[in-house]
Amino acid sequence: MPNDLHPAWLSCLPAPVPAELTTPAEVAVFELRQAGIDVEVREQPALSREAWSLQGNILHGGHAGVLYGAYELIRAKELNRPVPGGLCKPYYDARMIDCWDNMDGTVERGYAGRSLWFEGNRFSYDPARIRQLGRMLASVGLNVLCINNVNVHQPAQELIDGLLPETAAFAALLRPFGVRLMLSVDFSQPMQHGIPTADPLDPRVQAWWAERAKAIWEQIPDFYGFLVKADSEHRPGPFTYGRSHAEGANMLARAVAPYKGFVVWRAFVYNCQQDWRDHSVDRPCAACDTYLPLDGQFDLNVILQVKNGPYDFQIREPISPTLLALHKTCTAVEFQLAQEYTGHQIDLCALAPVFHEFFEDIHPSGIVAIAAVSNLGRDWNWFGHPFAAANLFCFGRIAWNPREDPVTCIREWARLSYPDAAEALTGILSRSRAVYELYTGTLGQCWMVNPHEHYGPNPGGYEFDRWGTYHRASRDAVGIDRTAAGTGYVSQYPPELQARYGDPGTCPDELLLFFHRLRYDFVMRDGRTLIQRIYDDHFAGAEEAEKMAEVLKALPLPEPDRTEALKRMDLQVANAREWRDVINTFFHRLSGVDDAHGRTIYD
């Protein structure tokens, strides 16, 4: 792998950042110089760490702000647009990328190859490429990187113990770009050191974590903190000891508090032993049921990280009510860049509309940070699909400013990465999420995927298992009744959303079967029956995927990107046809209703 491999959108900066540059200000000067921008850089400690402003020919900024300002000046020059005026600073202090890398080199839900920094149960990386990673993250305003899987497996526990010096050396590679290291930790780790319990109220446990925190910050002074997944998918946690998640999180938070560290506590908790026969239990209710009684009990340096929707990164979900219900707790919203349920970085699915829609109508007041599960890997182009880079780019831009227009973000990436094909590529990518939704999860249907792999159609794949991921399609109807007369889930929302979602007449079509169980002859607002809408959407999605492929073939893309993109587009077209035929046949067999247009549905 060449040391000078560049993210496509930074191709205007031909030289890699030299290793001898160790501060954001030094990197800013270097980047501006090679971009041909004659601006003086002045770091001003009086400004907040990440703020910047351009005054005449002088770029003023905080410690990392000067670098963010430099990259904005470079973008403005390349895109031929004005530089923002006044003081610029990010909306969120923490803009995090969570990597699910395992130390054996595998990446859970990784679709871009093996880990960039682990192999053979040890650190294994090219330092130049890690600096390029730091550069790439800083260029779009991201500032925290968690490098290990939230499902912590041996020997990842050693990252804060025996491997701590190596962890510190890795953190030093990111420091010139203002990127702070975070690590996932195993809640039960004290038990590996002769302590017979991980009870958060046990003084021995508290002392062990305090000692570890002290050792970490001595070697990594800008360390951000711990990411924790507890009591979920068989991970250890405070429930084992009859303690609440507030008690568990606060124990860790008090260990890191002397160093101004944070504990990011994932709210991914649900009853994974749900019985499919019991219609009263509803998995989307679990997070709010668990955390609302704890609102106000978490220490201020605990950030409760909540998935953007109540399920698990489906192509379409409503906003998680947990984020709207917690008014006394610091929260972070978590998205997924890794296309686990959105095409495995094979199918095109630009996620900027997902990020934007989350903030479009309601901006939850308690959110202090924003996170995304990484789509990075060791593949030559970092992302598997060369166009999947747009998702990291757009996430960074919208994490910095949630009001950014998603199409504008996609267009910026396309113009910086593929200027000769930018407009056509912007059109394809801007529509790609809607196309993927049409042929997979139309009307809010979720989980019709192959189990475990989560790629390709399987309408019965999760229908009778323990995960609570049901659509309950029968011969007469489909969907879950989540109104007050059903599971009651809708009651977790504020009154205005209860009213919007609770009535099929006002519920957005995109979420109709998420909130309601409807007969196939239900008449939609556009006059079509529900079953006809299902047929039409799946036919339309496959047809649009074919049209996208034709547009892509005509674009003047450089090699090897062109060959890779076309190869994956062929797979997407086949995948879209398979989704169309499997799902339409499934509902045709159940309902017995023919397609009104006489198109082919298989029996």
Rounded CA separation 216/263 (Å): 14
Q: Which two tokens stand for residue 351?
A: 């996620």
List the Cα angle 552/553/559 in 5-degree steps.
95
Rounded CA separation 157/164 (Å): 10
Contacts of residue 375, Cβ cutoff 8 Å, sequence gap at least 6: 111, 112, 337, 338, 339, 345, 383, 384, 388, 391, 392
Q: Which two tokens stand for residue 84?
A: 């923002």
Alpha-carbon dihedral angle through residues 406, 408, 411, 415, given to the nearest 10 degrees? -140
Catalogue the active-site residues: 233, 312, 340
- Strand runs (DSSP E) across 57-212, as ranges? 58-61, 94-98, 118-119, 122-123, 144-146, 180-184
Token pair 């526990």 is at which residue?
A: 157
Alpha-carbon dihedral angle through residues 419, 424, 427, 431, given to the nearest 10 degrees? -110
Per the CB < 8 A criterion, the answer to whether 480 and 472 are in contact is: yes
Per-residue HEC secondary structure of 260-305 comes to CCEEEEECCCCCCCCCCCCCCCCHHHHHHHHHHHHCCCCCCCEEEE
Residue among 243, 183, 244, 240 at smallest CA distance from 209: 183
Rounded CA separation 247/255 (Å): 13
Alpha-carbon dihedral angle through residues 543, 545, 551, 555, given to the nearest 10 degrees? -170
